[in-house]
């Protein structure tokens, strides 16, 4: 019987297989950042173990880093101490690091792909759940905890429990004004935040193949929000074109060898998935969340649901609680929800294409009264590219704040936070209670919806701008 893409990549990385034990998998690339690594390095130190493969390991600073005054010492002493800990650990163990101020610094999931380190058919891990992003290249990429970070540092392997396979096939072409973020939010709403548990999802179909690498990364990034262990897309010409010429991509004869191998990384026609979900792209539309988990979303044209109509008692209770926390009322039109803040950035939507989409919409317009907009590029490279295209000017003339690269308001570990009760439209990945700041209320949106919302001051799609005459 044929194998799925995920099974092929998995099988190619089994170091040891024994009855009754999890497979021991080899890890091709280990990405580190300051938050989930200090205790792992401590463990190595206590056991007197080195980093086995410093040449397959790379660190960057992203979660804690400020997006203002980056040339000054970090104001928060606890954040500063954590970042300094990463720098010390990298120096002590010989790990390459891109620190704040370095041209290659940025969000770990933006940095790996742009350096060409993320390649088809490889295994990638990072102590961050959004490692799923790298699956956009046909890599098998897992978010791991700190104990596993230590395990990979020490052994370059991980014992991994077997997974199930799920195909999410998006047939047909996405309608105008509907993008990768709308697609993945709709998928999560459909299968639920636990629907992917135990599965590696492979995204397939025309709408997926039509996506750019940036769009594919957006889709795979949020696989974890559906509970999946990883998300993948088979590599194709779009993947190869993105990789060609990147600093760590193979060159010359190696490139040809690599591409030939990469072309084999597709699910065999006779392979069987454990679960299949089919979505008609034509039925998708701009999609936003109304609740406090990423599965609590709906098309922008709809309303906040009435929990009374929800049959499952656990789901109903969750919806009631979410609506109360979000300060909404059942039946309220989603378009009537006014926001205080618009956040554009994160490992979900902080890449150059995302910034271009936003700039296209806000160019020549003014931000709505009383709305604060932050634009935070995913990496310094993205920032430089945006500046070279004049996008920074477009944002500042619109009335947005153009910031330095990092995770920023996606999780508010740095000073970029919502105040209690404040409401955001955010291109990030999680709308959990307090995620963007204590008491903050988050609506997850696409870059296009974020831009239109910033113009109108309430949740909106670009098509609403002409209707509103702005």
Closer residue to another protein (CB): 55 or 283 = 55
The yes or no reply on residue 42 touching another protein (CB under 8 A) is: yes
Check if the beta carbon of residue 387 is closer than 8 Å to that of residue 358: no
Residue in 224, 281, 298, 374 binding another protein, rule: CB under 8 A: 224
Distance CA 61, CA 70 (A): 12
Tell me which residues in 89-108 interact with another protein (CB under 8 A).
96
DSSP 8-state assignment for residue 379: B
DSSP 8-state assignment for residue 131: G
Task: Return the half-sphere exposure (C-beta side, CA atoms, 13 A cut-off) of residue 161.
Answer: 6
Check if the beta carbon of residue 443 is closer than 8 Å to that of residue 288: yes
Q: Minimum distance between the CB of residue 321 and another protein, rounded to whole angstroms?
A: 8
The yes or no reply on residue 60 touching another protein (CB under 8 A) is: no
The yes or no reply on residue 254 touching another protein (CB under 8 A) is: yes
Tell me which residues in 392-411 interact with another protein (CB under 8 A).
411
Q: Minimum distance between the CB of residue 410 and another protein, rounded to whole angstroms?
A: 10
Considering only 51-59, 179-187, 297-305, 452-460, which stretch makes contact with another protein by CB under 8 A?
Answer: 51-59
The yes or no reply on residue 38 touching another protein (CB under 8 A) is: yes
Check if the beta carbon of residue 331 is closer than 8 Å to that of residue 413: no
The yes or no reply on residue 79 touching another protein (CB under 8 A) is: yes
Closer residue to another protein (CB): 251 or 333 = 251
Distance CA 286, CA 311 (A): 26
Check if the beta carbon of residue 86 is closer than 8 Å to that of residue 33: yes
- The interface mask with another protein, positions 275-314, x = CB under 8 A, is -----------------xx--------------------x
The torsion region of residue 289 among left (phi > 0), alpha (psi -120 to 50) and beta comes to beta
Cα angle 231, 232, 236; round to 5: 160
Closer residue to another protein (CB): 318 or 373 = 318
Residue in 172, 175, 177, 198 binding another protein, rule: CB under 8 A: 198
Residue 213: name the closest of 246, 235, 185, 181 by CA.
Answer: 235
Q: Minimum distance between the CB of residue 106 and another protein, rounded to whole angstroms?
A: 15
* DSSP notation for 254-323: HHHHHHHHHHT-S--TT---SEEEEEEGGG---EEE-SSSTT-EEETTSB---GGG--SHHHHHHHHHHH
Residue in 3, 70, 85, 177 binding another protein, rule: CB under 8 A: 85
- The interface mask with another protein, positions 311-350, x = CB under 8 A, is ---xx-xx--x-----------------------------
Considering only 145-153, 270-278, 371-379, 445-453, which stretch makes contact with another protein by CB under 8 A?
Answer: 145-153
Check if the beta carbon of residue 132 is closer than 8 Å to that of residue 152: no
Check if the beta carbon of residue 185 is closer than 8 Å to that of residue 296: no
Residue in 216, 365, 403, 430 binding another protein, rule: CB under 8 A: 430
Q: Is 126 annotated in some ligand binding site?
A: no
The yes or no reply on residue 257 touching another protein (CB under 8 A) is: yes
The yes or no reply on residue 49 touching another protein (CB under 8 A) is: yes
Q: Is 347 annotated in some ligand binding site?
A: yes
Closer residue to another protein (CB): 143 or 286 = 143
Q: In the numeric block, which tokens belong to residue 107?
A: 């969000």
The yes or no reply on residue 61 touching another protein (CB under 8 A) is: no
* DSSP notation for 11-34: HTTEEE--TTS-EEEE-SEEEE-T
The yes or no reply on residue 63 touching another protein (CB under 8 A) is: yes
Residues tagged in the binding site annotation: 347, 407, 410
Residues tagged in the binding site annotation for [4Fe-4S] cluster: 347, 407, 410
């Amino acid at each position: 019987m044929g194998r799925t893409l995920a099974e092929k990549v998995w099988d190619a990385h089994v170091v040891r297989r024994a009855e009754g034990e999890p497979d021991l998998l080899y890890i091709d690339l280990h990405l580190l950042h300051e938050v989930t690594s200090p205790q792992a390095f401590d463990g190595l130190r206590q056991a007197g173990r080195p980093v086995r493969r410093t040449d397959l390991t790379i660190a960057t600073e992203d979660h804690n880093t400020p997006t203002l005054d980056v040339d000054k010492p970090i104001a928060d002493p606890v954040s500063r101490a954590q970042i300094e800990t990463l720098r010390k650990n990298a120096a002590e163990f010989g790990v390459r690091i891109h620190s704040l101020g370095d041209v290659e610094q940025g969000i770990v999931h933006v940095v790996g792909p742009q350096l060409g380190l993320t390649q088809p058919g490889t295994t990638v891990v990072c102590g961050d759940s959004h490692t799923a992003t790298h699956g956009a290249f046909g890599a098998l990429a897992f978010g791991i905890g700190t104990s596993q970070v230590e395990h990979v540092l020490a052994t370059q392997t991980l014992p991994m429990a077997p997974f199930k396979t799920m195909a999410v096939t998006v047939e047909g072409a996405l309608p105008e004004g509907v993008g990768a973020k709308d697609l993945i939010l709709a998928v999560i709403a459909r299968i639920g935040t636990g629907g992917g548990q135990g599965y590696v999802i492979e995204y397939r179909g025309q709408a997926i193949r039509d996506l750019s690498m940036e769009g594919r990364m957006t889709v795979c990034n949020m696989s974890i929000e559906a509970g999946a262990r990883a998300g993948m897309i088979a590599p194709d010409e779009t993947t190869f074109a993105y990789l060609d010429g990147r600093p760590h991509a193979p060159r010359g004869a190696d490139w040809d060898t690599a591409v030939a191998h990469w072309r084999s990384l597709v699910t065999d026609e006779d392979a069987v998935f454990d679960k299949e979900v089919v979505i008609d792209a034509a039925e998708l539309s701009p999609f936003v969340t109304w609740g406090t988990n990423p599965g609590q979303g709906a098309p922008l044209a709809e309303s906040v649901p009435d929990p009374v109509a929800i049959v499952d008692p656990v789901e109903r209770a969750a919806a009631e609680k979410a609506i109360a926390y979000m300060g909404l009322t059942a039946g309220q039109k989603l378009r009537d929800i006014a926001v205080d803040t618009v956040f554009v950035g994160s490992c979900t939507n902080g890449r150059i294409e995302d910034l271009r989409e936003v700039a296209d919409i806000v160019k020549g317009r003014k931000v709505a009264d009383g709305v604060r907009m932050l634009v935070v590029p995913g990496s310094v490279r993205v920032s430089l590219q945006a500046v070279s295209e004049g996008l920074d000017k477009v944002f500042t003339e619109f009335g947005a704040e153009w910031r330095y690269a990092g995770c920023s308001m996606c999780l508010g570990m740095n000073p970029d936070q919502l105040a209690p009760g404040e409401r955001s439209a955010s291109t990030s990945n999680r709308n959990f209670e307090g995620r963007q700041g204590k008491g903050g209320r988050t609506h997850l949106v696409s870059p296009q919806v974020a831009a239109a919302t910033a113009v109108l001051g309430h949740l909106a799609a670009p098509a609403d701008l002409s209707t509103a005459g702005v």
